[in-house]
Amino acid sequence: MKQRKIRGNHIKKLGTSDSIAISMSIDILKKHYKHANFDRKLKLIAEVLKAPEKFTTDEHLGQLADYLIPQKEEVFDELSLTAARPFTVFGDENIDKNAKHQMYQAMKLPVVLDGALMPDSHYGYGLPIGGVLATNNAVIPYGVGVDIGCRMCLSIYRDDPKILHTRRDELKRILKEHTKFGLRETHDKPNRSEVIDSSLFAEIPMLKRLQKKAAMQLGSSGGGNHFVEFGIVKIPEDSKDLNLKKGEYLGLLSHSGSRGLGATIAKHYTELAKNQSHLPKGVRNLAWLDLKSEEGIEYWLAMNLAGDYASACHHDIHKRIAKIMKLQAKTVVENHHNFAWKEVLSDGTEAIVHRKGATPAGEGVLGVIPGSMTAPGYIVKGRGNVQSINSASHGAGRLMSRRAAKQGIAKDAMKKVLKDHGVELIGGGVDEAPMAYKNIDTVMSYQQDLVDVLGSFTPKIVRMSKE
C-alpha cells in the first residue's frame, strides 16, 4: 500500500505557519524517515514543535530543533560579530537576494578578510553556493561544503566525436555498466588507490571507521547533479595550454566529490565547530575551527584526504572507461570547486580561501565550468583577478530549487528538450532538467575578467543517478 505524502498543510495543522520550519520538516522526513508511516511522521514533527529543546542532539531532528529554539543575543562567548566587510558581486542581477544576504552575514564574521560572490550563486547552507571567503587562520567546514573536493574532470581524446554516432549503443552500454551512482551502487571489484592506504585513516580517530567504506566506494559518483557524460569538445584555435590543435574531439566529463568519506568528515567537524563558537542562529552554520587547534589541524588533514580521494575516484572512472574503449587521453583538465586553500591575498596577507561552488581561477590555472545537459560547458584559464579572489563560477548555477523543479517541470517537457538537443539521458530526474539551471552564456558574460575561454564541451550521452 502506497504511503501518504506529508505536505505543508499537514505540518501547518500541527500549529506552525513558519515556512522554513515546514520546509525543513518535510525535507527531514523525506530523507530520514521515508519508511515510517504517515501518523508516525506527523507525531515526530509534533513532538519537536512542542518541545524542541528535547531534540537538539538528535542526529536528524536536531537541525529543526535548533531552528525552533529562540536564540539569545548574548550567546557570543568572547566572540562578537563585526560590521559586514564589503565584498564583490559578479553578475549582481543574476543572483537572488537570499544568496546575497547569506554572503552579507558571512562577511560579519571576525575571522573574515575578504569575500566575493560568483555569477552562478544561489542560496545554500552556511555560505551560498558560489561564495568565496578568505579567513584569517580559520577554516569553516560549511564554507567548504558537505561534498568536500567535489570536482570536474575532463578527458579529451584524440578520437573524432563521430564516434558518438557510430558507437552510440556501445557508449551507452559502457556508461550503464561501468559507472556507479548513489548510496548503494559500487563496483564488484573496486580498484585500489594509494589514498586508501593513507596513514591518516589510523592517525585520526574518526577516520578509522570510514576506510573500508571509502575503499568500497572508490570509482563511484554521488547522486543529485553528479554525472559522467560523453560529448563533443570544440577547440576554436590551436592551444598550447591544452596541447591541442584547432578542431573537434571526443570528450568524457565527470562531476562528483568525496562520497560518504567527505560527508562524514564535514558533519563531524561542523558539529565540533558549532559547539565551540556559539554563534547566533543566522550564522551558526558558519562556525569555524582555528587552524592552530587540534580540531582545526585534524579537519585540515581530513579535508585534504577527502580531496585526494575525490580526485582518485575521477581518475578511476576515466581509466576504467578508457581501458574498455581502448582510448588514450590527449589532455586532462580537472579542478576542485568545494575546497579550502592556503593562499596569499593581493595585499600579501596569508589566508584560508574557501571556494564553495567556485572554480580556482588564478593566473594560468585551467578548469572546467559545466553548463547543463543541453548547454555547453567551458574549458577556461584563470586570469588571476584579485577582486574575485582568483575565482570563477563552478557552473551555470540553479535557477530553480530541486523541490521547485520537481513540482514545476513535467517529465515529458524535459524529454522533449533533451531530444531537441540530441541528448540521451540515462537515469536522472526533473530536478536536473536543463530548465532548472541559469543560462551558462549569461553567467560567462559576467566573468570575462575572471577567465579566458579555451574551448567548450557539449554533452551528448549523460549518465546520472536513478531518480
The last residue of one of the domains, among 106, 139, 172, is 139
Q: What was the pLDDT predicted at 457?
A: 98
The pTM for the full model equals 0.82
* 74 in a structural domain: no
One domain for residues 120 and 231: no
For the record, the C-alpha cell of 17 comes out as: 505557519
Q: What was the pLDDT predicted at 2?
A: 64
One domain for residues 103 and 217: no
Ranges under pLDDT 50 in the chain: 71-79
> Other CB atoms closer than 10 Å to residue 193's CB: what's the count?
19
One domain for residues 208 and 268: yes
Q: What was the pLDDT predicted at 176?
A: 94
* Nearest-5° Cα angle at 225, 221 to 230: 70
**At 414, which amino acid appears?**
M
Residues in the chain: 467
Q: What is the rounded distance in angstroms from the CA atom of residue 8 to the CA atom of residue 30?
A: 13
Q: What was the pLDDT predicted at 55?
A: 87
One domain for residues 337 and 374: yes
Where do runs of H (alpha helix) occur along 107-154?
A: 141-144
Q: What was the pLDDT predicted at 76?
A: 37
One domain for residues 183 and 133: no
Q: What was the pLDDT predicted at 73?
A: 33
One domain for residues 161 and 241: yes
* 446 in a structural domain: yes
One domain for residues 386 and 268: yes
Domains contained in the chain, number = 3
One domain for residues 119 and 216: no
* 439 in a structural domain: yes
Q: Do the Cβ atoms of 150 and 336 come closer than 8 Å?
A: yes
One domain for residues 119 and 59: no
Q: What was the pLDDT predicted at 467?
A: 63
CATH of the domain at 338: 3.90.1860.10
Q: What was the pLDDT predicted at 126?
A: 85
* 83 in a structural domain: no
Query: What residues contact residue 454 under an 8 Å CB cut-off, 6+ apart?
Result: 235, 239, 241, 242, 366, 379, 380, 381
One domain for residues 434 and 328: yes
One domain for residues 170 and 64: no
Note the pLDDT tens digit of each residue in 171-195.
Answer: 999 999 999 998 888 898 899 899 9
* 146 in a structural domain: no
* 76 in a structural domain: no
Q: Do the Cβ atoms of 425 and 363 come closer than 8 Å?
A: no
- 126: containing domain: 88-139
One domain for residues 133 and 250: no
* 73 in a structural domain: no
